[in-house]
Structure 1
């Protein structure tokens, strides 16, 4: 739903998404597009806090790996901020939900945890459940599946098996939504390649780590598990500042991204 709302005098529930990767933010936007909400997207913690202090948020969805202050920092701020606190439910949306991290988040009173990549249905359910906490009957009743022709199971004979599985797993069988999201990602990949090249040239392994962390989720969502695993390998190598492995694996991944 467009962030400026629809209709005269109509106030839509506001949901805050804190996500610095534009491709993942776009996926969330597309997944929630048919819900009557106002999705506000911020890419860092200071902007998120400004949005929260303006009020009206009914759900916060946040990544943990963010530029500058992390998602954990945001959660700490919420715990200590009397103006916000945990009156607003928080859903952590992350690819790093290890058992130790989950235990830490539970201690911080996080309402829900979503592992990346999440499906369209999981994201919709998260928003519906959060808004139903306000006891609005409209949010307590599930919306029946759409009967639009583009939401039927993907049956293109030219589709690779992993792509078909991605459509079924992450897009609720909606091939139209998958193709739209894939097109937006393909348009973003050249910029991602430039960012990765710059990180390698400057030996900025933390920047490369953040980039490949996001790419791993995007590629798995698109049905490329092998390339997603390669991005994870680069992320791990970057965390160890293993320059040789970073560059070697990045050159392979960048070639794949540019040929899509």
Structure 2
């Protein structure tokens, strides 16, 4: 089963996206910030990381930088799911795809499927 780590500080969003992902067959782990996400990745690396950008503690950009700088995790695909403005060159090397909040469920699931197919 494909394992997804979903990282966001909004509990309602974590619940909704977790439900949608689990409904279509993904194994989902949740984290509320970058630090919790790194701890989860240490325990068991996911097949896909989905993260928000703006979070307290360790934000999404710092989380992505930590993954990309560690050879054990550098190849994990990252979907940035954020309402923050992202310029064309802002962090482009840090993530594989960007979806603006609020993303349509169809777009969200299609992007997840694309990133987890290898």
Would the TM-score normalized by the shorter structure come out above 0.5? yes
Correspondence for 1:125 among 89, 110, 113: 110
Say yes or no: does 1:79 pair with 2:65.
Answer: no
Task: Give the Cα separation in 2 of the matches to 1:97 and 1:31.
Answer: 25
Residue of 91, 102, 115 corresponding to 1:105:
91
Aligned to 1:90: 78
Relative to its length, the structure with more helix (as a share) is 1
Flag the structure with higher strand content: 2
TM-score of the aligned structures, taking structure 2 as reference length: 0.91
CA–CA distance in structure 2, aligned partners of residues 53 and 98 of structure 1: 28
Q: Deviation per CA, 1:104-141: give whole Å up to 9, x if none.
A: 221x24100010000110111122112211xxxxxxxx
Contact 1:63 1:94 in 2 (8 A): yes
- Write out per-residue CA displacement over residues 164-185 of structure 1, whole angstroms, 9 at most, x where no aligned residue: xxxxxxxxxxxxxxxxxxxxxx
- Cα RMSD between the aligned structures? 1.4
Alignment of 1:1-260 (within 5 A): 12-85=1-74, 87-99=75-87, 102-106=88-92, 108-133=93-118
Q: Name segments (4+ residues, structure 1) moved above 3 Å.
A: none
TM-score of the superposed pair, with normalisation by structure 1:
0.43
Note closer, same or farther for the CA distance 1:54–1:23 as it changes in structure 2 (3 Å cut).
same
Where relative contact order (Cα < 8 A, 6+ residues apart) is larger, the structure is 2
SS of the residue 1:103 aligns to: coil
Give the conservation status (yes or no) of the 8 Å contact 2:64–2:94.
Answer: no
Distance in 2, Cα, partners of 1:33 & 1:18: 15
Distance in structure 2 (CA, Å) of the matches to 1:19 and 1:84: 19
CA contact under 8 A between 1:53 and 1:83: conserved in structure 2? no
- Unmatched runs of 5 consecutive residues or more in structure 2: none
**8 Å CA contact retained: 1:93, 1:115:** yes
1-structure distance, mates of 2:58, 2:99: 20
